[in-house]
Structure 1
């Protein structure tokens, strides 16, 4: 019998992604630090699954914020009001998730309902 899982918690054992995201949102951490934390978490998750005998380790199950938002971005379904901000792809992603008020404009977050 071969084993797999449908995804792995992305936040980290010590909630590292949450804290890195909060630092980034408050302007106390850089995008590079946030991405480095994400990279380290993904690698640690893969290694832990491998160590524990998972045969088929899932990929592309990581999200900075929301899986459905990830799918929308992957498919290019980004409303014009967010594209018009002229932000980087990651900043646009967070603008859709959390809203954006800054030098590039003012938009509310998308209505993401669970």
Structure 2
């Protein structure tokens, strides 16, 4: 029988992803540094699961913020109100768009509305 799980907590044992994300939002960490933190965490998580004896280690279960938001960007489901973030500001990246959609944007753009999951939160 093969052993497998459906994913691994992405935040890190010392909340590294949370801390790195907050520094990125504050402008004290670069996008490259944030992505390096994500890469290190993914590798640590894979190795931890492998060392625990999993036969099938899951991949592509990492997200910087939200997996539904990841899928929205993957398929291009971006509300029109966020288009100016990239179009009008060349210094902004797709990661900035991603976090603007998740957390809001200071220039008259609000975050996407989180939908309550009725089957999970009665």
Cα distance in 1, alignment partners of residues 78 and 59 from structure 2: 23
Partner of 1:112: 114
Shift of 1:28: 1.2
1:41-60 equivalences in 2 (<5 Å): 41-60=41-60
Instruction: Note the aligned Cα RMSD (angstroms).
Output: 1.1
Shift of 1:106: 2.7
Find 1:91's aligned residue among 62, 87, 96: 96
Deviations 1:21-78 (A, max 9, x none): 0111111111111111000000000011111111111111001111111111111101
Do residues 73 (structure 1) and 73 (structure 2) align? yes
Cα distance in 1, alignment partners of residues 83 and 46 from structure 2: 33
Provide structure 2 residue ranges, at least 5 long, that are not aligned to the other structure: 87-91, 117-122
- What TM-score, normalized to structure 1? 0.92
Partner of 1:23: 23
Shift of 1:100: 1.2
Structure 1 residues 21-30 or 83-92, which shifts more? 83-92
Provide structure 1 residue ranges, at least 5 long, that are not aligned to the other structure: none
Runs of 4+ aligned structure 1 residues displaced above 4 Å come to: none
- What TM-score, normalized to structure 2? 0.86
More strand by share: 1
Shift of 1:82: 1.0
Partner of 1:10: 10
